[in-house]
Amino acid sequence: MTSSDQPAQDPRPRRNRLDLEPDTVERDLVKLVLTVVELLRQLMERQALRRFDVGDLSEEQEERIGLTLMLLEERMAELRDRYGLRPEDLNLDLGPLGPLLPRDGG
């Protein structure tokens, strides 16, 4: 086999790919699920802030939404800790589109 017959090496780093080793499948799956949940949490938080600003929520609704978002954030932190993940580990790199989540988390 000549050098021209060999498949081209992928020059991109492999750090963002899922590792399908049996020992890491669970962690990688949890990472993907938590990424989606974090994206939805941030979207819900932004929508709640817009509704707070507009003033179309009762005081009870504001408290309930605030408590729900706070509890969700705490549970997310617990799950990240359990699987050894940092918040930045959930921010997928979408290549030319940039990161999935805002870098400041908000």
Confidence (pLDDT) at 56: 87
- The per-residue pLDDT for range 29-61, each reduced to its tens digit, is 888 899 999 889 889 999 999 999 999 889 999
**pTM confidence score:** 0.66
Nearest CA to 45 among 53, 85, 97, 89? 53
Q: Within 13 A of 26's CA, how many CA atoms are on the CB side? A: 7
Answer whether residue 98 shows pLDDT above 60: yes
Higher pLDDT among residues 81 and 6, named by residue? 81
